[in-house]
A and B are shown apart, each in its own frame.
Chain A
Amino acid sequence: DIQLTQSPSSVSASVGDTVTITCRASQGISNWLAWYQQSPGKPPKVLIYDASTLQRGVPSRFSGSGFGTDFTLTISSLQPEDFTTYFCQQSNSFPLTFGQGTKLEIK
């Protein structure tokens, strides 16, 4: 199984800041990586797929990059609604797996 390790597990920032979250795969997955945002009590929402493609309707302050084993999600000009939890997910092979999550907290 492909393990995904996110770092940090939590991060504090202020409105207007830029934050970067990392996701490392235990083996190469090409660009088969998606990023999700999940607010408390809600289902996840896809932000980015194929490592860097922005899902329709997602604000352009979200961006993704990476290939192989190392990936990043960058959120620029943080807005109040961005302070929640983010997960990465590999779509390279079964079983599909997620990272453990990164909680973005307001400073």
Chain B
Amino acid sequence: EVLLVESGGGLVQPGGSLRLSCAVSGFSFKFYWMSWVRQAPGKGLEWVANIKQDGSEENYVDSVEGRFTISRDNTKGSLYLQMDRLRAEDTAVYYCAREDSFCSGNNCYSRKFFDSWGQGTLVTVSS
């Protein structure tokens, strides 16, 4: 069974930092692109960032570029999101999500949609 479990959320003051983690199991983590997607309370979904299988490529939404850093440790089956200079508008449930992929030969490519999700961790930025 594919499992993704986020942790690290909580209450933080504006300007503060927080590091989210996502522990995965049930699949070969090293073959998949991974993403963070967030959802503000009562609002829609916003893709935040993603990272290539070997960590060599990252992409971010403009609103977090330069403040958030996505990373991964394939030996531990873990995905991370370092969030610095947090703002009130970063308040949301943060989901770890696996990007669906297809493989051709020795290469696996992301289809850039999300086929597995964690339950999410709530980040609240408030003084």
Measured between beta carbons, the chain B residues less than 8 angstroms from A36 are 45, 114
Number of A residues whose C-beta is below 8 Å from B? 25
Are the CB atoms of B113 and A44 closer together than 8 Å? no
Q: Which of B45, B46, B50, B59 has the most CB of A within 10 A?
A: B45
Q: Which of A46, A95, A101 contacts B61 (CB 8 A)?
A: A95
Q: Which of A36, A43, A87, A99 has the most CB of B within 10 A?
A: A43
B1 adjacent to chain A (CB < 8 Å): no
Residue of A nearest to B63 (CB): A95
Residue numbers in A under 8 Å from B114 (CB-CB): 34, 36, 44, 46, 89
Q: Is the CB of B44 within 8 A of A101?
A: yes
Is the pair B111, A100 in contact by a Cβ cutoff of 8 Å? no
Whether A95 pairs with B113 at a CB distance below 8 angstroms is no
CA distance A99 to B50 in the complex (A): 19
Main secondary structure of the interface of B (DSSP, over half): strand
Distance between B50 CB and nearest chain A CB, rounded to angstroms:
8
Do the beta carbons of B44 and A46 come within 8 Å of each other? Answer: no
A44: chain B residues at CB < 8 Å are 45, 95, 114, 117
Which among A34, A43, A94 is the interface contact of B113 at CB below 8 angstroms? A34
Q: Are B115 and A55 in contact (CB under 8 A)?
A: yes
Whether A71 sits at the interface, judged by CB under 8 Å, is no
Is B62 a contact partner of A49 (Cβ separation < 8 A)?
Answer: no
What are 9 A-B contacts defined by CB distance under 8 Å?
A: A1-B62, A44-B117, A45-B117, A46-B100, A46-B114, A49-B100, A49-B111, A96-B112, A98-B46
Q: Please list the 9 inter-chain residue pairs (A to B) with the smallest Cβ-Cβ separation, ordered nearest first.
A: A43-B117, A91-B112, A34-B113, A96-B47, A98-B45, A95-B61, A91-B113, A94-B59, A101-B44
